[in-house]
């Protein structure tokens, strides 16, 4: 009976007394106790002082647990957007630590006066891409918006119908174009567009030709689209700008790792684009950022645009980005940048690591088997391209796969796995090798807890 239960409930004071020392959290603890008692009153549940205190404490602990936490990415997706895309290189992490205090972000150390925020990365970006200049925004979506706003606002922008894409997270090229104040002019068809389609659409109102990388899908079969070089030549001949949103953007030839060949940033620049935009945290392997490189006059227009102030990167991002770009300059990208180390990992290395993990788990009594998997790049890069990888599949006796996957997400650090044929699979390509031991310990503990 409800009335009995209510009679059995302790007072808030009694629960707080029973809880003993709650430290600096007293007010919040009292509120939690009130909530717990109110709920018990409604549900008719019986609670004594001690258990009400325990429930209130647990509730506060859950509430206070951070939702933004370090995790182990065992999904086999190297650039998992939901897991923060590119893990940073040690040099970038050190640079971040260095930049947390006072830094010369807008200070010219030679002249001893105000300096340029954009100068730090510009020289490196130009050097690496072969462009005249570069500028950094806080992500590529912002870089595209900025480029369109600065170069083609109130003018027409010509885009192939097959490139009017949605990248994800609501980033749709037609919408971004509209937001920038430009007017969209569609040319060609979904599958085939020719240079003559662009040429026929150019008028005195045209501000730019925009080319967008189809980052997350593939059209095959009866398809045609012009070479960058032809578009660049057309744009120059007719006096309009050529903006190329490369999406991922890479400085390294992806075909060296058995993947499809991606046009590099340098090639896109050489093909005659006025502005090439790409992400900092996709194949570049750096922090979230949007990079725009190209002709000096075009980049100067971006830098001078009022939107620049709203989309500029912070000192932490700049520090990590510059450190990452330096690794490319010094020829250490493939050895030092986690994304490239993951992509470059050979099957024999992955097998060795998977065997070691399986053996460590087996020593603790777990059923673990090395299986062959296909890992992907993800992050809107190289759609449908896979690399052969290795995973450790956990035995069925550990419970239903989804339950086990949930248990792994509840560990510290949470382990994010995928389910393959009703088994939880820990794919090692997306795990940094330095984390293998931590992964073994964490999974062992999670399995033991479930016994």
Ligand X SMILES: *Cc1c(COP(=O)(O)O)cnc(C)c1O
Q: Kindly tell me which of 171 and 257 has the beta carbon lying closer to ligand X.
A: 171
Type and span of the H or E element at 212: strand 206-212
For residues 143 and 295, the answer to whether their CB atoms sit within 8 Å is no
- Our CB check for ligand X shows the closer of 29 and 328 to be 328
Q: Given the complex with ligand X, which of 144 and 343 has the nearer CB atom?
A: 144
**Is 171 among the residues that bind ligand X (CB under 6 A)?**
yes
Q: How far is CA 231 from the centre of its chain?
A: 30
Nearer to ligand X, 245 or 336 (CB): 245
Contact between 213 and ligand X by CB under 6 A: the answer reads yes
Place of tokens 């689209």: 225
Which range of residues in 9-17, 47-55, 138-146, 148-156 is near ligand X by CB under 6 A?
Answer: 138-146
Phi, psi of 131, rounded to the nearest 5 degrees: -85, 170
d(CA 56, CA 79): 39
Of 129, 140, 387, 442, the one binding ligand X (CB under 6 A) is 140
**Closest separation in Å from C-beta 175 to ligand X:** 12
Task: Kindly state the smallest distance separating residue 246's Cβ from ligand X, in Å.
Answer: 7
Among residue numbers 274 through 303, which ones bind ligand X (CB under 6 A)?
Answer: 279, 290
Q: Which stretch binds ligand X (CB under 6 A): 211-219, 261-269, 383-391, 407-415?
A: 211-219
Q: Look at strands 368-378 and 133-137 and give their pairing.
A: unpaired
> Least Å distance between CB 335 and ligand X?
25
Q: Does 245 bind ligand X (CB under 6 A)?
A: yes
> Order of strands, edge to edge, in the sheet holding 183-187?
133-137, 290-294, 275-279, 241-247, 206-212, 156-160, 183-187
The one among 151, 225, 380, 407 contacting ligand X by CB under 6 A: 380
Q: Does 167 bind ligand X (CB under 6 A)?
A: yes
| Cβ proximity to ligand X, 15 vs 382, nearer residue | 382
User: Could you tell me the smallest distance in angstroms from the CB atom of residue 369 to ligand X?
Assistant: 36
CB 160 within 8 A of CB 234: no
Pick the binder of ligand X from 187, 212, 311, 320 (CB under 6 A): 212
Return d(Cα 259, Cα 389) in angstroms, integer.
13
Strands 183-187, 206-212: pairing kind: unpaired
With CB under 6 A as the contact rule, which of the stretches 16-24, 219-227, 240-248, 424-432 interacts with ligand X?
A: 240-248
How many other CB atoms sit within 10 Å of the CB of residue 110?
Answer: 6
- In the complex, the smallest distance separating the C-beta of residue 322 from ligand X, rounded to whole angstroms, is 18
Please, which residue, 212 or 298, has the CB nearer to ligand X?
A: 212
141 lines the binding site for ligand X (CB under 6 A) = yes
Residue 147 has which token pair?
A: 């480029």
Give CA–CA dist 250/262, Å, rounded: 7
| Number of residues forming the site for ligand X (CB under 6 A) | 15
Among 75, 129, 215, 442, binds ligand X (CB under 6 A): 215
192, 226 contact by CB (below 8 A) = no
Tell me how far, at minimum, the Cβ of 172 lies from ligand X, in Å. Answer: 10
Query: Peptide bond before 413: cis, by omega within 30 degrees of 0?
Result: yes
Q: What is the number of other CB atoms lying within 10 angstroms of the CB of residue 39? A: 13
Nearer of residues 79 and 345 to ligand X, judged by Cβ: 79
Task: State the binding string over 52-91 for ligand X (x if CB under 6 A, else -).
Answer: ----------------------------------------
Residue 139 CA to residue 65 CA, distance in Å, equals 28
Distance CA 215, CA 290 (A): 15
**Distance of alpha carbon 147 from alpha carbon 360, whole angstroms:** 52
Q: Around Cβ 96, how many Cβ atoms within 10 Å?
A: 18
With contacts defined by CB under 6 A, name the span among 25-33, 67-75, 241-249, 306-314 that binds ligand X: 241-249
165 three-class SS: coil
Positive or negative, the Cα torsion across 330, 332, 338, 340? positive
Q: Return the number of the residue (215 or 225) whose C-beta is nearest ligand X.
A: 215
Which residue's CB is nearer to ligand X, number 16 or number 209? 209
Shortest Cβ 442–ligand X spacing (Å): 29
Residue 397 to residues 123, 390, 402, Cα–Cα distance (Å): 57, 21, 13
Cβ proximity to ligand X: between 264 and 373 the closer is 264
In the complex with ligand X, the residue whose CB is nearer, 36 or 276, is: 276
Name the residues that contact ligand X, by CB under 6 A: 139-141, 144, 167, 171, 212-213, 215, 245, 247-248, 279, 290, 380
């Amino acid at each position: 009976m409800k009335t009995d239960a209510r009679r059995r409930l302790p007072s808030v004071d009694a629960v707080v007394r029973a809880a003993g020392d709650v430290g600096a959290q007293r007010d919040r603890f009292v509120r939690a106790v009130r909530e717990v008692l109110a709920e018990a009153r409604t549900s008719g549940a019986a609670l004594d002082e001690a258990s009400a205190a325990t429930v209130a404490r647990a509730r506060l602990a859950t509430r206070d647990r951070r939702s933004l936490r370090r995790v182990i990415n065992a999904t086999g997706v190297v650039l998992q957007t939901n897991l923060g895309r590119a893990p940073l290189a040690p040099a970038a992490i050190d640079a971040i630590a260095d930049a947390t205090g006072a830094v010369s972000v807008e200070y010219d150390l030679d002249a001893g006066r105000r300096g340029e925020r954009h100068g730090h990365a510009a020289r490196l970006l130009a050097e690496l891409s072969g462009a005249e200049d570069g500028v950094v925004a806080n992500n590529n979506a912002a870089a595209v918006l900025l480029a369109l706003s600065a170069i083609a606002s109130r003018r027409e922008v010509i885009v192939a119908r097959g490139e009017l894409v949605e990248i994800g997270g609501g980033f749709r090229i037609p919408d971004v174009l509209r937001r920038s104040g430009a007017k969209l002019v569609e040319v060609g068809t979904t599958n085939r567009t020719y240079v003559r389609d662009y040429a026929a659409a150019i008028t005195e109102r045209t501000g730019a030709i925009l080319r967008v990388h189809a980052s997350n899908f593939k059209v095959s079969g009866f398809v045609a689209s012009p070479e960058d070089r032809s578009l660049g030549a057309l744009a120059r001949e007719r006096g309009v700008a050529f903006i190329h949103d490369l999406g991922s953007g890479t400085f390294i030839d992806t075909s060296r790792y058995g993947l499809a060949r991606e046009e590099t940033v340098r090639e896109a620049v050489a093909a005659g684009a006025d502005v090439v935009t790409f992400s900092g945290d996709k194949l570049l392997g750096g922090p979230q950022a949007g990079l725009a490189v190209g002709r000096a006059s075009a980049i100067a227009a971006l830098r001078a645009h009022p939107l620049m102030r709203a989309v500029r990167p912070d000192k932490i991002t700049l520090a990590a980005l510059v450190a990452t770009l330096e690794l490319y300059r010094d020829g250490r990208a493939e050895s030092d940048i986690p994304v490239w180390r993951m992509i470059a990992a050979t099957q024999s290395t992955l097998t060795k690591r998977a065997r070691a993990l399986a053996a460590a788990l087996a020593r603790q009594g777990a059923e673990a088997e090395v299986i062959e998997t296909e890992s992907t790049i993800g992050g809107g890069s190289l759609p449908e391209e896979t690399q052969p990888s290795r995973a450790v599949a956990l035995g069925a006796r550990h419970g239903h796969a989804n339950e086990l996957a949930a248990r792994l997400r509840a560990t510290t650090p949470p382990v994010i796995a995928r389910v393959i044929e009703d088994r939880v699979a820990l794919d090692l390509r997306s795990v940094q090798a330095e984390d293998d031991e931590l992964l073994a310990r964490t999974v062992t503990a999670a399995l033991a807890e479930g016994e």
